[in-house]
Amino acid sequence: MAMNKPKVLFLHGFMGQPKEGLFLEEFGSLWAPDLLELSLDSDECMKAFYKAIEDYNPSLLYGYSLGGRIALNFLDLNPEYKGEVVIESASLPLTDPAEKENRSIVDHQRSREIREDYPLFLENWYQAPLWGELSVVERDILKEEKLERFKSKEDLEALANFLLFFSPAHFPKESYSIKQTLIYLYGEQDLKYKNLGEFYQSSHPHWTIHEVAKAGHNIHSLKETQLLEYIRSFLSR
The CATH number given to whatever domain includes residue 46 is: 3.40.50.1820
Residue 82 lies inside a defined structural domain of this protein: yes
Residues 12 and 50 grouped into a single domain: yes
Residues 87 and 190 grouped into a single domain: yes
Residue 2 lies inside a defined structural domain of this protein: no
Exposed / middle / buried, residue 18 (Cβ in 10 Å: 0-12, 13-18, 19+):
middle
Residues 30 and 51 grouped into a single domain: yes
Domain edge (last residue) among 136, 165, 194: 165
What is residue 40's predicted lDDT score, i.e. its pLDDT? 86
Residues 76 and 180 grouped into a single domain: yes
Residues 114 and 211 grouped into a single domain: no
H helices, E strands: number in the chain: 9, 6
Residues 197 and 213 grouped into a single domain: yes
Count of domains observed in the chain = 2
Residues 69 and 185 grouped into a single domain: yes
pLDDT in tens, 3-36: 688 999 999 999 999 999 999 999 999 999 999 9
**Residues of the domain holding 102:** 97-165
Residues 153 and 185 grouped into a single domain: no
Residues 206 and 135 grouped into a single domain: no
Residue 84 lies inside a defined structural domain of this protein: yes
Residue 228 lies inside a defined structural domain of this protein: yes
What is residue 3's predicted lDDT score, i.e. its pLDDT? 63
pLDDT in tens, 111-170: 999 999 999 999 999 999 889 888 999 999 999 999 999 999 999 999 999 999 999 998
Residues 106 and 155 grouped into a single domain: yes
**What is the value of pTM for the model shown?**
0.94
Q: Which segments within the chain are labelled E, that is strand? A: 7-11, 29-31, 60-64, 84-88, 183-187, 208-212
Amino acid at 219: I
Which residues have CB under 8 Å from 171's CB, separation 6+?
A: 69, 73, 93, 165
Residues 13 and 77 grouped into a single domain: yes
Domain edge (last residue) among 107, 140, 165: 165
Residue 1 lies inside a defined structural domain of this protein: no
Is the pLDDT confidence value at 1 over 80?
Answer: no
Residues 128 and 63 grouped into a single domain: no
